Amino acid sequence: EAGVAQSPRYKIIEKRQSVAFWCNPISGHATLYWYQQILGQGPKLLIQFQNNGVVDDSQLPKDRFSAERLKGVDSTLKIQPAKLEDSAVYLCASSLTNADTQYFGPGTRLTVL
């Protein structure tokens, strides 16, 4: 069974630029999560989807971050414009339902200069 796929693995941009990350969850998993992991900290949930609907986006900085999961499968997370403090690893995870174990992708390491 293929795991959660993410791309790109690494991205370097300058502040005020835009960036997008892509996630392909495990086939059949209805729930998808985006986490932000700042160096030296644990992952922090940004947004949770159940199929193509948002369940929780309470910690998503909506003035600059957006995410979508239009067909209930793949998802993209966008930052526009990026700030220095957005430098982090962005992790995508999926689970069969919202009551099951979450499986994580390898993450995208973003560096904002």
Partner 1 sequence: AQSVTQLDSQVPVFEEAPVELRCNYSSSVSVYLFWYVQYPNQGLQLLLKYLSGSTLVKSINGFEAEFNKSQTSFHLRKPSVHISDTAEYFCAVTIPGAQKLVFGQGTRLTINP
Q: How far is the CB of 50 from partner 1 (least distance, A)?
A: 9
Does the footprint of partner 1 cover residue 48 (CB under 8 A)?
Answer: yes
Region near partner 1 per CB under 8 A, out of 20-28, 42-50, 63-71, 73-81: 42-50
Does the footprint of partner 1 cover residue 26 (CB under 8 A)?
Answer: no
- Gap between the Cα atoms of 48 and 55, Å rounded: 5
CB environment 21-51: b (16+ within 10 A), e (fewer): bebbbbeebbbbbbbbeeeeeebebbbbbbe
Does the footprint of partner 1 cover residue 88 (CB under 8 A)?
Answer: no
Does the footprint of partner 1 cover residue 70 (CB under 8 A)?
Answer: no
Does the footprint of partner 1 cover residue 24 (CB under 8 A)?
Answer: no
- Neighbouring CB atoms inside 10 A of 15's CB total 13
Q: What is the size of the binding site for partner 1 (CB under 8 A)?
A: 23
Does the footprint of partner 1 cover residue 111 (CB under 8 A)?
Answer: no
Positions that interact with partner 1 (CB under 8 A): 3-4, 31, 40-45, 48, 56, 91, 93, 95, 98-99, 101-107
